Amino acid sequence: MNTTFKTSLAALVFSTSSVLAMAAAQAKEITVWCWDPNFNVAIMKEAGAIYSKTHPDIKINVVDFAKADVEAKLQTTLASGVTTSLPDIVLIEDYGAQKYIQSFPGAFASMNDVVDYSKFAPYKVKLATVDGKTYSMPFDSGVTGLYYRKDYLEQAGYKPEDMQNLTWDKYIEIGKKVSEKTGKKMMGLDPNDAGLIRIMMQSAGGWYFNDKGELNITGNEALKAALKTEGKLIASGITKPASGWSNWVSTFTSGDVATVITGVWITGTIKATKDQENKWGVAPIPKLDVKGATDASNLGGSSWYVLASSPEKKEAIDFLNSVYGKDVDFYQKILVNQGAVGSLMEARKGAAYETADKFFGGEKIWQKFADWLSKVPSVNYGVFTNEVDSAVAAQLPALGKGGDVDAALKAIEAQAKSSMQ
């Protein structure tokens, strides 16, 4: 045992010194953590290639691992206080932004001196701002849309015009007709996931928290309407229950459902099913029946953060700013290749946003998403979104069985209060 221990110790010393030697030789390397090889990893590599052309001394090293692992590793490393194993740039989903910024003050670098935030979609900037300082480079948006199967709806007697300006009641009515005529369900729905609730709530300008970040549940008209609507959806029998992400995705890739309501980042997945070409259309999401309701919302989306402890902090910020903050052509490229709708507003004037998409029967879908993006109501995602989300998801099965909405709101508030400590 002793010999093996010595050997491994020696190996460790040697490997560490060789790593150090390599780092010294290559001067500047910016390490980035992100999670989707077909999406943000590919995009970051593209951005790195663009930046390296003008800055040959800087190498962008993109490390790809699962999202849950990125979050777990970031959280434990920040908590341990050892900064050496942290990357220079990390991707964080927008719902978690405030949690990280507020739980680990000083861990992330604010970029207000360099980045002109007025050029980005306002809701993306606000979600990473604390005390007037913004800590993110806004990246992809989760602007939502209603993707629908034109063939199924036609069989049920609906044209694309009928899918515009929907209310949720009208949507359910269409769904019933679709099930009757085609035997298909209207949408796949995971009852453990409060995603649809978040979409509906934000579309009416509401969130679990008010502008000051205080819990806003029992008096929250948008949330109440969202819960009521989701209850109606489940009870009406037009949803196909799904469990987990991949099962939910298979509800529409297999052609079992007629519509998908989610963030724009799903476009790539929908287009990957080649035999469904020309069968899909895109419309705004249905409106809630409350004051201030719109047909634009957001689900997910993420932004880049620079670690304050990074020795290459300055270079990392300059890299993000010169590509993500200015390069309109870059945004055209990632839109075409990865289907990423960025949040830099001037990017939507580029050529790619004007192109008609063959898969969607020649519709200019990107222009539509860009228009909806500018309409997404700005809300405060707060620090405790995951906690409240868990409380909300716990109430969903009961609501589907006709449970009382006010009782559910009370239960959510009680549970959320106790976890917000």
Partner 1 sequence: MASANRSLNRYFDINGWFFVAPAALLIGVFMVYPILYSLWMSFQTGKGMMTQFGGLANIRRLFDDPMFMLALYNTMIFFIVQVPVMLTLALFLASLLDNPNLKFRGLIRTAIFLPCVSSLVGYAVLFKSMFVQDGLINSTLLALHITSQPIPWMTDPFWARVLIIIAITWRWTGYNMIFFLAALQNIDKSIYEASRIDGVPSWGRFFYLTVPMLKPVILFTTVTSTIGTLQLFDEVRNIMTSDAGSAAGPSNSALTLSVYIYNLTFKFVPSFGYAATVSYVIVLAVALLAVIQFYALREKD
Chain positions contacting partner 1, by CB under 8 A: 1-2, 5, 67-68, 71-72, 75-76, 78-79, 81, 99, 102-105, 107, 190-195, 240-245, 247-248, 383-384, 386-387, 389-391, 393-398, 414-415, 418-419, 421
The structure tokens 């796949």 sit at 188
Looking at the Cβ atoms of 370 and 391, the one nearer to partner 1 is: 391
Looking at the Cβ atoms of 136 and 332, the one nearer to partner 1 is: 136
The structure tokens 């995971």 sit at 190
Contacts of 200 (CB under 8 A, 6+ apart): 168, 222, 225, 226, 229, 230, 288, 297
Alpha carbon 159 to chain centroid, angstroms: 30
Looking at the Cβ atoms of 104 and 276, the one nearer to partner 1 is: 104
Kindly state the smallest distance separating residue 203's Cβ from partner 1, in Å. Answer: 18
Looking at the Cβ atoms of 56 and 106, the one nearer to partner 1 is: 106
Kindly state the smallest distance separating residue 394's Cβ from partner 1, in Å. Answer: 5
Alpha helices in 309-357 (DSSP H): 313-323, 328-338, 351-354
Instruction: Give the CA distances from residue 257 to residues 15, 87, 179, in Å, rounded to whole numbers and listed in that order.
Output: 53, 41, 9
Kindly state the smallest distance separating residue 245's Cβ from partner 1, in Å. Answer: 5
Kindly state the smallest distance separating residue 95's Cβ from partner 1, in Å. Answer: 10
Kindly state the smallest distance separating residue 408's Cβ from partner 1, in Å. Answer: 11
Which helix (H) or strand (E) covers residue 374, if one does? helix 365-375
Looking at the Cβ atoms of 216 and 395, the one nearer to partner 1 is: 395
Kindly state the smallest distance separating residue 344's Cβ from partner 1, in Å. Answer: 26
Q: State how far the Cα of 420 lies from the Cα of 376, in Å rounded to an integer.
A: 27
Write the burial class of residue 3 (CB in 10 Å: 0-12 exposed, 13-18 middle, 19+ buried): exposed
Looking at the Cβ atoms of 345 and 393, the one nearer to partner 1 is: 393
Q: What DSSP assignment string belongs to 2-24? A: HHHHHHHHHHHHHHHHHHHHHHH
